A = this chain, B = another copy of it.
Amino acid sequence: MMSDSRPSSVIQEWVSSYPGQAHLTPVGPGQSSAQLAQMDVIPYSQSQGMMRGGGEDRLAEQMMGLSYLPYSASCLGNASNSVSSTHHQSHGGSQQDFSPFLLPTLKAPVTKRSISKDSAEYRLRRERNNIAVRKSRDKARRRILLTQQRALQLQEENQKLQLRIGQLTQELDTLKHILSQRHLQGAEDGAAGESSI
């Protein structure tokens, strides 16, 4: 099954991994963009998606070189729903438990029906999500591999093209030289002919 028949198969697969949606790719915070502007590459967020928890703060720090400090001494400490559940941490520490009388326009953080972590429905949804997560990550891994292989292949192809250009250039120089010689010789012949008359 797909045992790389031709050398360009990698590129074929790679292209198929990026359905052209043309997001114009902001390329991500703190990246240099290099305005290539063709087939966005970035799946659909990664560039501006992470505004949850303390994410953007730490990310901004990283961008400026302030590296990987703990969230703010700790990010644990507020179980969101929770009913029983001996295990399962609630890590995430999103939306600080700011009292509902701050920001009066937003009603309290919703509380989301408080689904028991022991309920069959919860487990079912978790298991489904776990499967989806594994699938998605597998896909991502494959895409990364394809990109790497594609880069190597393009690099190889580049070298060949450079070589070809070298050959053509040299051949061109040779011909130009010959032509200039012919031209000179032609002029001399013409002069000789005139003088011999």
Expressed in whole angstroms, the minimum distance between the Cβ of A166 and any Cβ of chain B is 10
Decide if A67 touches B31 in the complex (CB within 8 Å).
no
**B148 pairs with A154, CB closer than 8 A:** no
> How far, in whole Å, are A89 and B89 apart by their CA atoms in the complex?
6
Q: Are B134 and A68 in contact (CB under 8 A)?
A: yes
Interface residues of A toward B: which range? Answer: 35 or more
Residue of B nearest to A32 (CB): B4
Chain B nearest CB, measured from A30 CB (Å)? 9
Copies in the complex: 2
Question: Do the beta carbons of A33 and B4 come within 8 Å of each other?
Answer: yes
Is A79 interfacial (CB 8 A cutoff)?
yes
Chain B hits for A147, CB < 8 A: 144, 147-148, 151
A76 to B87, alpha carbons, bound, how many Å?
10
Please tell me if the beta carbons of A152 and B41 are within 8 angstroms of each other in the complex. yes
Stretch at the interface among A94-102, A105-113, A168-176: A168-176
A23 in contact (CB, < 8 A): no
- Give Cα A178–Cα B90 distance, bound, in whole angstroms: 80
Contacting pair A70 B175 (CB below 8 A) = no
On chain B, the residues within 8 Å of A76 by CB distance are: 87
CB of A184 within 8 Å of the partner chain: no
Say whether A34 contacts B134, CB under 8 Å.
no
**A142 nearest CB across to chain B (Å):** 8
- In the complex, are the beta carbons of B68 and A152 less than 8 A apart? no
A24 interface residue per 8 A CB criterion = no
Contact B149 A36 (CB under 8 A): yes
Pick the residue among B14, B68, B172 that contacts A135 (CB under 8 A). Answer: B68
- Residues in B whose Cβ lies below 8 Å from that of A27: 145, 149
A104: interface (CB < 8 Å): no
B residues near A144, Cβ cutoff 8 Å: 144, 147
- Could you pull out 6 A-B pairs where Cβ atoms are within 8 angstroms? A4-B34, A27-B145, A41-B149, A87-B90, A87-B91, A147-B151
